[in-house]
Amino acid sequence: MIGLSSYAGVMESLMNSAEEQQPSSPLTNSWSKIQESSKNQKPKGVGGFVLVHAGAGYHSESKAKEYKHVCKRACQRAVDQLKAGALAVEAVAAALVELEDSPFTNAGMGSNLNLSGEIECDASIMDGKSLHFGAVGAISGIKNPVLVANRLLSEAQKGKLSAGRIPPCFLVGRGAHDWAVSHGIPPCPSEKMATKFSLSAYKRNKRKMELAEKMDTGQNQTKKRRQSSENENGSGCLDTVGAVVVDLEGNVAAAVSSGGLAMKHPGRVGQAAHYGCGCWAENACNMNPYSTAVSTSGCGEHLIRTMLARECSAAMQSEDAHQALLEAMQNKFISSPFLTSEDRVLGGVIVLRCCRCVEAQPSQNIQGILVEFLWSHTTESMCVGYMSAQDSKAKVSIPISQIIKMFCSEF
């Protein structure tokens, strides 16, 4: 079973004749409920949309309020960038910084500790306009790994290095840390990145593992270790964060950041750093009518073996986005031949797709951007937030129902 929610909206970014008021669209009642606050107010030159997630997993009621708050802040941070004229890749990085800075998310500050009691983070970002990609894996001592990934992306866009060397797009471990510091990103002691929540979780998990190892005997050893690992890395620990953005010009970008599975082996790199697995962004072109952006969350090993981000992006070129995502999650993930040995497949995605549309009217040609955004998850819940540049505040949801829903808005 998977939960799938989808939202579609029209982002009327008026390029011409912005002074004239647009006539009402022939919309259904479900559209009008959401559009009331911004239907008649469309600031000139303001456009864009952001969708964020605080992970697919289990979000306890005690922390639900904090997850919602950080998603709202992340949306607002991205929208502020869009209103200032930033491109999608800059706005998505700003959203991720806000998510990483929260002590309640498993990214940046407060990330899960590995077996050695250290924090190693993964992050990646992709620009749909240039198709450039930047990523870091198992990086320690950097407060905001997404900034390193973004810097790798921007440096690669400058072209070759001295002596014709190809600039890196993916760095790991100490090499990633040293490169970040040499490019002006300040280090942060790992002990300062751990929070009381992550430290208490580490101590609790370590005690459980020690107890399980004492109980291991003979042929049951491997089986019990596997069961212990599944318990410790259950859906409650999969709170990777991510975001997708479309800007006023229709460019898309996506990013993802994670502290990885709790009690992971040192040096382990999850899907958040892997190309096509953690995030994907691609502007429309002659072959693809839609621009798409995807960010994933879940068990990294499952997402890596299925390259879920890229698979979902490709599926979004179908006419019916809702049905396409359902089929992609079922055929490319849940029933994937690459995961047949898994008892339970854990993952979630947020997806954005958009295309330009022109509405001919007697007095003007209005060129806008049609935006559809969806999310799907196989876990118990997934915290998501979304906001357009015309909205006064973000909307946040932690869906746990398996019922398929669809809402629409015009802005």
Catalytic residues: 240
Q: Tell how strand 48-57 and strand 381-388 pair up.
A: antiparallel
Q: Which two tokens stand for residue 61?
A: 């009621």
Burial class for 207, CB neighbours closer than 10 Å (0-12, 13-18, 19+):
exposed
Residue-by-residue DSSP string for 21-60: PPPPP---HHHHHHHTTTTT---TT--EEEEEEEEEE---
CA 234 from chain centre, in angstroms, equals 19
DSSP string computed for 57-119: E---HHHHHHHHHHHHHHHHHHHHHHHTT--HHHHHHHHHHHHHH-TTSSSSTTPPP-TTS--
Whether 294 contacts 313, CB under 8 Å = yes
Query: What is the CA angle 397-401-402, rounded to 5?
Result: 130
Q: Report the run of H or E that residue 176 belongs to, with start and end.
A: helix 173-182
